[in-house]
Each structure stands twice: as C-alpha cells, then as structure tokens.
C-alpha cells in the first residue's frame, strides 16, 4: 500500500483540522516564568486523538528515536483509556512529560505522520504531554486503579550513570524497569542535567515536570547522588572497584564556545550556559529572594540561532529587557531553532537581526559592555553541510548599543572526565567514540551517549542513545533478548 | 549530600573563619590547589572556596573564608554540628608540584590559607619552602603557626608594622630574589592586586610564577564560562584549566573588572539578607 492510498481514510472521511494548543497570551507571559503552552483539555485531546488514522504500518514510530508505540497509545487515548496510554508510552520512554514538551516533533514522529502531507500531522507531542501530565496528576492524587508496579531490583546487578540528563535518565528508567539497580551520579546539586540548568521554566517546568519524572524513577529504586563529579570525586575505575558491572557516561556537552572576537570578556558578555544556568538552576529570576544574581540587560543581543538562543532571548525579555535581538549570520529560513520556539519568541517581541555577524564588542572604562559592531552578511554558495554559507558584505558594518550579550553558538567537550580517563578513545573533534549499535566506548562495559558523543543535539537523540546502550547493558547483565 | 561541620574556629571574629568539614569522599582525592563549590541553603548560590587542608585519614577538609557578601555571611551563621547543604569537589587542576629546590609561597589575607595547602605539598615533595605572608596588621595574620610547623622560613610583613617587616610582601620577595639565586618558583595566592604585584616583582628575575585565580564561578565544572580569564592572549577557564596560571601571562586588569561584575547585585543581596534577618525571618 502506498502512502497516498493510506492517507485516504476508509469511507472518504474528512480529516478534521489539527487542534490548537492554548497558550498564555504573549503580553502576559513575558511578565512571568510560567509555562507558555498550557496543554490540551480532555476534550481537545480526545478530538485530536480521533484524527489519527491508526495506520497499519505506522511511520511515526520509525521517526521516534525511542520507538514509542505511538499508534497504540493514541488509539487507547481515543477510547478514553488514559492509564493504558501512559503504560504504552512508558514502555519505551522514561520521560514522556519532558518529550511532549521539548522534542522537535515536527522533524521526528510528526514529520513522518502521513497526514503531514497536508501540513496537518497528528499533534503527537501534545498528546504525549497530555497523557503524561494527566496520569501524573492522577497518580499524585491516588486516583489510579493500579499503579505501575516496580519489578524486584537485584542489588547485585549494579549500573552507574555519570550525569543525570536525559540520556542517563533513560538508561536508569530502562534498566530499573528490568530489575537492575541503577545509581545516577550528578555533579550539580540538582538532578536533570540540561533539563534543569538549560531549558527555561516557561518551556519545561522544573518542579511540576522534571522533578516528577525523577521521582517516578526513584520509586523504581533508582538512586541519585548529587554533588559527585565524575573524574574528580570518583573515577571510572573506582566505580568498577565498588562493584558496578557497567557504567554509562552521559555528561553532556560542556564548555561553551565563544566567538573569538575582541571584547568578548567584557562584563556583560555571557555564554548562554552561564546566563541560563544562573536563571534556571540558580532561580536568578527570583533574586534577591534566591541568592544567584544575573544581569538585567536593557538592550540585549543574543548570538546564534538555535533553541538555546531562543531560550536566552525569551529569558532576557522576561527579566525586563527593553529590546532583545537575535543576531544570526544567515536568514530566517536557515534558523536552526524549532519553528514553534521561533514563533513564540517573535510573538513575545524578540527581534531578528539577520545576515549579521559580530566583529567586536565595545565597553566603557570599567570594562562593561556598551555596544557591538556587526558585519552585514549575504548568502553565498552552499558549504559542506549543504547550507548556503554566509559571506561578509565588504565594508558594510554597523553598530548596535547593547549592554547584555549572550553567546549561544554551541559547546565543546567538557574535559574533566575525559582527562581523568585517558584510556577513553575520543573522536577527532574530542567527543567520546562509541560503537554505533551498542554505545560501548573503547573501555569494555563503559558506554556513552548524548551530547558527549554527538556534540550538542536534542533531548530525544540523547534519549535514543541511552536506550540503545541500556538494551545492550541489560543483555550483558541478564542475558536473553 | 549535606556535609557536617566538625570544627569551627573564628580566626578573625566577624571576618574570617576556619571550618573543618566531614567529607571523606573529597578528602580522599583533594590535592593542593583544588577547590570546592558549596551551597549553604536551598536558595543559596554556588560559591567556590579553596581547600586549605585535607586529611584523608580523618576524612576531613578545611576551608577558610572571608565574610564579604550574603553567602559567606550565611556560612558564618553555621557552627560545629551544623551541615553545609551541598559540597562538591575536589575541583580544579591540582598544583603542579615537583622537587625543584627552593619555592617561595606568597600569601595575602584569606589567600594565606589556600597557599598553606600548596606550601605543604611543596614541602612534602622535598622542596625548601619559604613562606612570605602579609596582612594589614598582626591581628589579621592567618596560618602563621601552621606554616611555621613545616616551613623552615616564614617571612611576615604588615602594613602597620605590628609584626615583621613594615610594608608589603613584595618588598620581602624582592629582597629574597636579589640575594637568593636558587629560587625555582614563586607561588602567590591572595587579592588580585597582590598577585599582580608579585608577578611584576618576579618578572625581571625571570622566575616561574604561579598565581591562583579567584574568578567568579557558577558551576565550577567547566560548563558556564563565567570564570574565563585571558592568559597569554587566550581565553582559559579558571575552573577546569586552572585555577593556577602563569602569573606573567595573566591579564590582571581584565580579571579585576570581571570580579566587579556583580558588585551592585551582591550589595542588594546582602542588604536584603540583613533586612530579612533583622525582621526575624530568614
């Protein structure tokens, strides 16, 4: 059967339009850190679930790095079986509340949906979010008929995860659900990695969502140890000496990249990691009630065009900036951020300063940032990645006043664990090299996944890598398939 | 995991205190030059403090701090028996120590405590350690006895002449370098102007000079770049590339400016703290 044939539902039923997600109005939300997208109601979720064609050969599942049985959970949801839908999602995805919010669904499951041909794929991410949120709310209120039961965990089968971001949480969820004892070591004081320090509250609520997903893992007897730094507080050898049978490294991407232009160390120039960590992990938006301070820029410029740049720009608006500009070397069409995030940012008043590249930052006699010189760019021939590369328009530079600059142009591998573990084989770019099928590193029974393998990428790709490694760890520890 | 304070000593009442903390996992790994990041309470910020001493057998580390803002003021409210909410470490690269002859360790203010751990490391490696320490007056001088217990020479300067040489540590350092050609390295830990002055003093003598930088940090594990410093024209991160660097290559002016970045916020936070505690709530 061809995709075209499958797209036509039996009986020629007309497909209803996609159900919109209610949001906080832009004028209101830029004054708070509460979640922007409000989630479906039961009626909206049912209506949207009924749009699913229940394809015999669902393409959406192939688009999902953790292989959520999407058709099945949507079918259960359409019939009103919320618990069934939750169990189905949880069978392969440890963090549905997170994925329903931050996955680039348009490129993955929804991108593969047959209804996508008309630009109206089933809103799989929103449905996943609805199921996760509603189930967790019922669970918290003891309204569930039967809770997910935890298998007996074998205390001898111990696995350590280094880092507590999405890759490690996936490993922990997969293995603990199969009776393996997992301990997660986190260097910061809070569990969740990039979900906590990187993604803002208005896109992914910490206590309402991340903490609950972590709590769910705790009930599966996963142990979390905070303030323990892999490569400093302990080494990988220490873990094996203590009886761990396998180790998963999910330490994230690490060191921020800078632009390498003059004036970059002026006071007021931040890496996106610093800016977002101060605000998200340190709750600097509640300063001075919380002790971590942050700069409140008046004219803010953000450099880079990905989701991190969007997050930084929208954060600056909420902290009271008068103008916030995203400075990007290419055009709007090439912006790598998720479409939804870009749309939300523009609705909120973020200005796009396109085809522009910073060449120098300027400061006052106290070393505080006051302005930036931008080079006008134009698009030239496609580069190695196939994108048209930006080239300077000779002699065309201009100045912008700015008192807060946020650099969001990516990261380099964090050296701490890598330097402490010289036997780990690294790629040319300095990331950990792993076997593609299993995620195993050059050290036997040591696995790695997520940004420390791929460089900065998405939550769901990290989770996919975690799942691959976890499958192999389980196979080695318990045998069978 | 919270770590218990075993001993507290008010070295300079209301200003500088020493804590001995139960942290076997850190004590086991801590080397001279390492630091920790701690958080006093749930709403607290992460602050870096150098490890002044470590006892792996007893499972303790020692830190010394100067009360200068809200976080250290909060830390000062804790006593033996209380716990520090988060203690993370040991962080940073350890001091490069090898048997090299005579090493001069210069310390100023609270930096003397951090310098103490480095001096001890050089002593253990078999080096002849000359400690040069300075303070405004005799009452404000830290770790004199500790250093005297293993350093064959402890030279002291005070601004007011109440103890030792009246003047600056750099006066003592210069005199020594002029008369002693066996000095293989100078290590300096203290306020930025002092470290800058030490580097300037040693430069004409061509003696290797190591400084330990106290940049602003957030995570302390190489993630945020707040602690970046220019060393020899390159941007380096004090938390993972340092905190020790070649003093002759550090851009001290930039460091000084970056350290002042949050002064207004620090004051607002401290005032807020004082107001809250005076009103009887914390």
Helix (H, G, I), strand (E, B) or coil at A320: coil
Q: Which of B31, B225, B228, B231 would you mutate first to test chain A, the one with the most A CBs within 10 A? A: B225
Which range marks the domain in which residue B6 is found? 1-89
Q: How far is A386 from chain B (nearest CA, A)?
A: 30
Please tell me whether residues B104 and B203 are part of one structural domain: yes
Counting the structural domains of chain B, the total is 3
Would you say residue B186 lies in a domain?
yes
Helix A70-78, helix A124-140: angle, nearest 10: 60
Given a cut of 70, is residue A426 above it in pLDDT?
Answer: yes
Quick one: pLDDT at residue B87?
96
Quick one: pLDDT at residue B241?
95
d(CA B180, CA B164): 20
Given a cut of 60, is residue B145 above it in pLDDT?
Answer: yes
Given a cut of 80, is residue A144 above it in pLDDT?
Answer: no
Quick one: pLDDT at residue A148?
61
d(CA A348, CA B202): 55
Percent of chain B with pLDDT over 70: 98
Torsion sign, CA atoms A172, A178, A180, A181: positive
Given a cut of 90, is residue B23 above it in pLDDT?
Answer: yes
Interface touch A225/B1, C-beta < 8 Å: yes
Quick one: pLDDT at residue A5?
40
Quick one: pLDDT at residue B277?
62
Please tell me whether residues B206 and B124 are part of one structural domain: yes
Comparing CA positions, the residue from A239, A234, A229, A249 lying closest to residue A187 is A229
Please tell me whether residues B195 and B105 are part of one structural domain: yes
Interface touch A288/B269, C-beta < 8 Å: yes
Would you say residue B124 lies in a domain?
yes
Using an 8 Å CB-CB cutoff, list chain B residues near A282: 45-46, 218
SS3 content of chain A, % helix, strand, coil (to 5): 40, 20, 45
Task: Look up the CATH number of the domain holding residue B41.
Answer: 2.40.30.10
Please tell me whether residues B149 and B190 are part of one structural domain: yes
Q: How far is B164 from chain A (nearest CA, A)?
A: 36
Residues of B with CB under 8 A from a CB of A: 1, 25-26, 29, 39, 43-46, 70-71, 85-91, 218-219, 221-226, 228-230, 235, 237, 240, 253-254, 257-258, 260-262, 265-266, 268-269, 272-273
* Residue in chain A nearest B44 by alpha carbon: A291
**Quick one: pLDDT band at residue A23, thresholds 50, 70, 90?**
very high
Quick one: pLDDT at residue A7?
45
Q: Which of B60, B89, B118 is the last residue of a domain?
A: B89
Q: List the structure tokens of B199.
A: 């580097």
Given a cut of 70, is residue A146 above it in pLDDT?
Answer: no
Percent of chain A with pLDDT over 90: 77
| pTM for this prediction | 0.91
Please tell me whether residues B5 and B84 are part of one structural domain: yes
Interface touch B235/A293, C-beta < 8 Å: no
Would you say residue B280 lies in a domain?
no
Please tell me whether residues B172 and B221 are part of one structural domain: no
Q: Is B224 annotated as a binding residue?
A: yes
Given a cut of 90, is residue A40 above it in pLDDT?
Answer: yes
Comparing CA positions, the residue from A39, A174, A153 lying closest to residue A95 is A174
Please tell me whether residues B113 and B49 are part of one structural domain: no
Using an 8 Å CB-CB cutoff, list chain B residues near A287: 265, 268-269
Using an 8 Å CB-CB cutoff, list chain A residues near B257: 266-267, 366-368
d(CA B186, CA A207): 49
User: Distances from the Cα of B17 to the Cαs of A251, A459, B65, B111, B270, in angstroms?
Assistant: 35, 44, 6, 13, 19
Q: How far is A292 from chain B (nearest CA, A)?
A: 5
Please tell me whether residues B69 and B154 are part of one structural domain: no
Interface touch B257/A197, C-beta < 8 Å: no
Q: Which of B174, B196, B211 is the last residue of a domain?
A: B211
Task: Look up the CATH number of the domain holding residue B110.
Answer: 3.40.50.80
Comparing CA positions, the residue from B70, B65, B93 lying closest to residue B5 is B65
Q: How far is B79 from chain A (nearest CA, A)?
A: 21
Would you say residue B184 lies in a domain?
yes
Would you say residue B223 lies in a domain?
yes
Q: Which of B21, B224, B257, B260 would you mutate first to test chain A, the one with the most A CBs within 10 A? A: B224
Q: List the structure tokens of A278.
A: 């101060």
Please tell me whether residues B231 and B167 are part of one structural domain: no
Mean pLDDT (chain B, rounded): 92
Would you say residue B272 lies in a domain?
no
Q: Which of B223, B229, B230 sits opposite A254 (nearest CB)?
A: B223
Please tell me whether residues B145 and B98 are part of one structural domain: yes
**Quick one: pLDDT band at residue B45, thresholds 50, 70, 90?**
very high
Report the pLDDT averaged over residues A93-110.
91
Comparing CA positions, the residue from A159, A246, A149, A166 lying closest to residue A213 is A166
Would you say residue B187 lies in a domain?
yes
Residues B57-73 pLDDT 10s: 999 999 999 998 888 99
- Which helix H or strand E contains A344, and what residues bound it? helix A339-348
**Quick one: pLDDT band at residue A145, thresholds 50, 70, 90?**
low
Please tell me whether residues B62 and B143 are part of one structural domain: no
Q: How far is B32 from chain A (nearest CA, A)?
A: 14
Using an 8 Å CB-CB cutoff, list chain B residues near A252: 223
Please tell me whether residues B8 and B77 are part of one structural domain: yes
Q: State ipTM.
A: 0.92
Comparing CA positions, the residue from B4, B229, B15, B268 lying closest to residue B142 is B15
Q: Which of B45, B85, B253 sits opposite A291 (nearest CB)?
A: B45
Q: How far is B253 from chain A (nearest CA, A)?
A: 9
CB burial of residue A124 (10 Å; 0-12, 13-18, 19+): buried
Q: List the structure tokens of A202.
A: 């208005």
Q: Quick count: other Cβ atoms within 10 Å of Cβ A208?
A: 15
Report the pLDDT averaged over residues A279-296.
91
- Which helix H or strand E contains B166, and what residues bound it? strand B165-166
Concatenated DSSP letters for A156-191?
EEEEEEES-SHHHHHHHHHHHTTTEEEEEE-SSSST
Q: Which of B224, B230, B265 sits opposite A271 (nearest CB)?
A: B224
**Quick one: pLDDT band at residue B201, thresholds 50, 70, 90?**
very high
Concatenated DSSP letters for A288-306?
TTSS------SEEEEE--S
Using an 8 Å CB-CB cutoff, list chain A residues near B77: none
């Amino acid at each position: 059967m061809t995709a075209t044939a499958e797209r036509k539902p039996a009986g020629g039923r007309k497909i209803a339009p996609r159900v919109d997600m209610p949001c906080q109005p832009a004028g209101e939300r830029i004054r708070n850190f509460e979640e922007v997208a409000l989630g479906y109601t039961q009626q909206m979720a049912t209506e949207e679930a009924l749009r699913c064609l229940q394809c015999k050969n669902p393409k959406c599942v192939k688009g999902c790095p953790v292989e959520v049985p999407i058709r099945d959970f949507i079918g259960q949801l359409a019939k009103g079986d919320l618990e069934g839908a939750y169990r189905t999602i949880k069978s392969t995805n440890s963090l549905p509340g997170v994925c329903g919010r931050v996955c680039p669904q348009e490129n993955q499951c929804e991108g593969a949906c047959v209804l996508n041909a008309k630009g109206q794929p089933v809103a799989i991410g929103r449905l996943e979010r609805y199921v996760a949120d509603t189930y967790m709310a019922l669970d918290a209120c003891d309204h569930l008929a039967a809770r997910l039961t935890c298998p007996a965990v074998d205390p001898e089968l111990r696995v350590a995860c280094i880092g507590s971001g999405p890759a490690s949480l996936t490993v922990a969820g997969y293995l603990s659900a199969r009776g393996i004892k997992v301990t997660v070591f986190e260097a910061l004081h809070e569990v969740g990695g990039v979900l906590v320090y990187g993604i803002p509250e208005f896109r992914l609520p910490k206590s309402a969502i991340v903490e609950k997903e972590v709590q769910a893992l705790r009930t599966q007897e996963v142990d979390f140890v905070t303030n323990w730094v892999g490569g400093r507080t302990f080494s990988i050898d220490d873990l094996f000496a203590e009886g761990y049978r396998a180790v998963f490294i999910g330490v994230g991407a690490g060191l921020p990249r800078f632009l390498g232009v003059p004036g970059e160390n002026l006071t007021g120039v931040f890496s996106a990691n610093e800016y977002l960590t101060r605000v998200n992990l340190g709750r600097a938006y509640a300063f001075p009630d919380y002790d971590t301070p942050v700069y409140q820029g008046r004219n803010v410029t953000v450099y880079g065009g990905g989701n991190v740049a969007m997050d930084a720009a929208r954060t600056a608006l909420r902290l009271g900036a008068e103008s916030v500009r995203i400075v990007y070397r290419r055009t709007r069409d090439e912006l790598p951020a998720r479409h939804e995030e870009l749309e939300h940012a523009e609705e909120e008043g973020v200005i796009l300063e396109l085809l522009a590249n910073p060449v120098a930052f300027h400061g006052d006699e106290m070393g505080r940032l006051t302005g930036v010189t931008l080079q006008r760019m134009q698009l030239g021939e496609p580069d190695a990645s196939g994108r048209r590369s930006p080239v300077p328009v000779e002699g065309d530079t201009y100045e912008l006043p700015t008192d807060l600059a946020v650099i969001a142009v990516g990261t380099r591998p964090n050296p701490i664990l890598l330097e402490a573990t010289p036997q780990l084989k690294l790629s040319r770019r300095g990331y950990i090299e792993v076997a593609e099928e299993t995620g195993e590193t050059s050290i036997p029974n040591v696995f790695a996944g997520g940004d420390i393998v791929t460089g900065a990428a998405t939550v769901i790709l990290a989770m996919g890598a975690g799942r691959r490694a976890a499958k192999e760890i389980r196979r080695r520890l318990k045998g069978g398939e | 995991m919270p770590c218990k304070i075993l001993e507290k000593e008010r070295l300079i009442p209301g200003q500088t205190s020493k804590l001995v903390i139960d942290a076997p996992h850190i004590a086991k790994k801590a080397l001279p030059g390492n630091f920790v990041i701690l958080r006093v309470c749930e709403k607290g910020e992460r602050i870096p403090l150098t490890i002044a001493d470590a006892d792996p057998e007893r499972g303790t580390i020692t830190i010394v701090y100067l009360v200068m803002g809200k976080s250290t003021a909060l830390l000062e409210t804790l006593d033996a028996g209380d716990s520090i909410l988060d203690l993370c470490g040991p962080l940073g690269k350890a001091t490069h120590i090898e048997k090299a002859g005579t090493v001069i360790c210069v310390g100023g203010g609270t930096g003397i405590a951090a310098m103490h751990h480095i001096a001890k490391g050089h002593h253990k490696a078999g080096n002849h350690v000359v400690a040069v320490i300075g303070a405004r007056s005799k009452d404000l001088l830290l770790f004199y006895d500790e250093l005297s217990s293993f350093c064959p020479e402890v030279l002291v300067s005070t601004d007011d002449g109440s103890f030792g040489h009246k003047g600056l540590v750099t006066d003592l350092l210069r005199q020594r370098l002029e008369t002693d050609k066996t000095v293989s390295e100078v290590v300096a830990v203290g306020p930025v102007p002092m470290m800058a002055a030490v580097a300037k003093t040693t430069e004409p003598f061509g003696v290797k000079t190591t400084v330990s930088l106290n940049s602003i940090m957030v995570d302390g594990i190489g993630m945020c770049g707040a602690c970046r410093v220019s060393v020899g024209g390159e941007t380096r991160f004090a938390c993972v590339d340092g905190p020790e660097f070649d003093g002759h290559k550090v851009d001290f002016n930039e460091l000084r400016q970056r350290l002042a970045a949050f002064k207004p916020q620090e004051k607002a936070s401290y005032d807020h703290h004082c107001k809250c505690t005076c009103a009887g709530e914390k």
